[in-house]
Amino acid sequence: MKIEWLGRIDYQTGLRIQEQRLESCLSNGAETVILLEHEPVYTIGRLPDKSSLRNVSRLPYPVFETNRGGQATYHGPGQLVGYPIVDLRIRGRDLHHYLRKLENLLIDLLADFGLQGVRVDGKTGVWIQDRKIASIGVGVRKWVTMHGFALNVASDLSGFQNITPCGLSGVTMTSISSELGTEVSIQSVRENLVPHLNRNLGARLQESGVPGVQELQNGDGDFRSVDNPLRSDEKNLSRRTSSQ
C-alpha cells in the first residue's frame, strides 16, 4: 500500500487522482492512501436534499456534488484530508467496519496531541465532547473505496460558517489548534498519522525522492508521483464568486 502526500491542490485535481488510483486498484489490486490539503471548496453528496448548502449563490467558494455519502462540508487550507483507495473485497466487504477503522485511526491520532476524540451514536465522524473535529464520507465502486476523512487542524474555521456542516443544525466545528490554543502544523499532524495508518491499514514510511512528496509503502519498493489524472464526472454546482 502506498500513501502519497500531494500538498495543497484543488478539488477537481484531487478527485481525478483518486479516480486514477481507484482504476489501478480495480485492475491490479494496488492500494493507495492520498493525503493532501484542498484549496477552499464546498462538497456535498448526491442527495435530493441540499439544504445544508443554504444559499449556493452566496457561497464564497465553489461547490461540487460528489459521489460520497453525507451532506455539505468545507475543505480548505489547514485541514488534513485523507483519501484511502482500498479494496474491501479482501476486507470482508464490510463498509461499516471500514468506517469504524477510519474513526479509530483519527481518535488514536488525536490522543497523540492530548485530545480525547469520541464517536457520537448515529453520527459518522469524530468529536471532542460535543464539537465536531473530523468528518468522514466515503464512496465505493465495485467494493473499492474513495473519498475518506477530513481532520480540522488550523484554528481558522470560518469556511464552515456559510453552510450547515454535515446537515447538523447548531453543530460547533473545532480543530486541533482551537482545542490546544496554539497553532499546530499540518506537517506535524501528518507525521503523527503515520503509525496509525500503519496499525489500521498496514503501511510504513519511505522517502519518495520527489521534492515535497512523502509516500508510505508496504515494502514493494515501488514509488509513484502524481501524473496523468483521469477525467471526472463530478458536478460543479456553482461558479467561484468573490470572497465574502
Is the predicted pLDDT of residue 226 greater than 90, yes or no?
no
Which pLDDT value is given to residue 204? 44
Is the predicted pLDDT of residue 228 greater than 60, yes or no?
no
Mean pLDDT over the full length of the chain? 84
Task: Find the catalytic residue in 166, 176, 184, 201.
Answer: 166
Q: Is 166 a catalytic residue?
A: yes
Confirm whether pTM is higher than 0.75. yes
Are 153 and 189 spatial neighbours (Cβ–Cβ below 8 Å)? yes
pLDDT in tens, 10-33: 999 999 999 999 999 999 999 999
pLDDT in tens, 147-168: 999 999 999 999 999 999 999 9
Which pLDDT value is given to residue 227? 31
Is the predicted pLDDT of residue 231 greater than 60, yes or no?
no
pLDDT in tens, 57-93: 999 999 999 888 789 999 999 999 999 999 999 888 9
pLDDT band at residue 236 under the 50/70/90 scheme: low
Is the predicted pLDDT of residue 184 greater than 60, yes or no?
yes
Is the predicted pLDDT of residue 214 greater than 90, yes or no?
no
Are 28 and 60 spatial neighbours (Cβ–Cβ below 8 Å)? no
**CATH code of the domain occupying 2-236:** 3.30.930.10
